[in-house]
Amino acid sequence: MRACMLFTAVLLLLFISCNSSPAGLSCIEVVYPATGDVWDYMQGNTHVEWTGAEGTLVRMYLYKDGEYFVDYLGWTANSGCAVRTDYLHPACHGSGFYQIRIEDSNGNYGLGDFFTIMCGGLGDIQITYPSGSPAWTYLGSEAYVTWTNSGGEMVRVDVYRSDGTYLGILIDWTENDGYAEPPYPLDHTLLPGGYYIEVIDDLGRWGIGGDFIIQ
């Protein structure tokens, strides 16, 4: 009888601490995505489901191989389900195991099961410039991008450092006519060094160019 009462007291303490600790505890359960679920590279309208969060708001992060990778969704209503309408971060493809981490406005958190992000579409777009030896000039006005073999109506151009670090969107969605120019002048954060370009179309096709130099 005493053991039963002690067990009940322990459970009660755990419940209270999980729901009222100012420091926050791992009380949130990520229901979806879970083990075996698959998202696609550049997929839009992905969603996350959860239980156990407190407060009025939650925010979410995408983890890769057990470490923070990119933000997934900023503060949103603690409704148990949230949709990200924007495409997944362009760097979310290739090998790796992904998880969703959720934090609530009371400081509690939860880390979901590992799931997969597959490379959607075909990597068959050919970047013809810049690719290889051509160089752009820091803050210059002569920068442009050309490509072939894309069947979509719109394309987006992203830029990476040569070491694979994703820097962001260089040219937002634009007509797929094989030629596009980034805003003039080039972003001041594109310091002299090595880079490469990725072109993505609205059918999910993509292509990565060779390294080039900004000098």
Per-residue tens of pLDDT for the chain, all 215 residues? 443 343 334 334 434 444 444 456 779 999 999 998 888 766 667 899 999 999 999 999 999 899 998 899 999 999 999 998 877 765 665 567 899 999 999 999 999 999 988 765 556 788 999 877 667 888 776 789 999 888 789 999 988 888 777 888 899 999 999 999 988 777 777 888 888 888 888 887 788 888 888 88
pTM: 0.55
User: Among residues 65, 88, 118, which one ends one of the domains?
Assistant: 118
Residues 101 and 179 in one domain: no
Residues 144 and 187 in one domain: yes
Which pLDDT score, from 0 to 100, does residue 93 have? Answer: 58
Residues 157 and 112 in one domain: no
Contact call for residues 117 and 41 (beta carbons, < 8 A): yes
User: Among residues 62, 83, 118, which one ends one of the domains?
Assistant: 118
Which pLDDT score, from 0 to 100, does residue 1 have? Answer: 44
Residues 112 and 27 in one domain: yes
Return all residues near 173 (Cβ < 8 A) that are at least 6 apart. Answer: 154, 155, 156, 202
Alpha-carbon Rg for the chain, nearest whole angstrom, is 22
- In-domain check, residue 148: yes
List the alpha helices (DSSP H) in the chain. Answer: 2-20
- In-domain check, residue 207: yes
**Cα–Cα distance list, 103 to 25, 62, 63, 116, 185 (Å):** 10, 12, 13, 21, 39
Which pLDDT score, from 0 to 100, does residue 46 have? Answer: 87
Domain range for 39: 10-118
- In-domain check, residue 4: no
Contact call for residues 114 and 96 (beta carbons, < 8 A): no
Residues 130 and 93 in one domain: no
- In-domain check, residue 48: yes
- In-domain check, residue 1: no
Residues 170 and 207 in one domain: yes
Residues 112 and 151 in one domain: no
Residues 111 and 130 in one domain: no
Residues 138 and 208 in one domain: yes
- In-domain check, residue 3: no
Counting the structural domains of the chain, the total is 2
- In-domain check, residue 5: no
Residues 45 and 100 in one domain: yes
Q: For residue 197, with 0-12 CB atoms within 10 Å meaning exposed, 13-18 middle and 19 or more buried, which class applies?
A: buried
- In-domain check, residue 2: no
φ, ψ for residue 170, nearest 5 deg = -90, -45
Local structure of 3: helix, strand or coil: helix
User: Among residues 101, 118, 135, which one ends one of the domains?
Assistant: 118
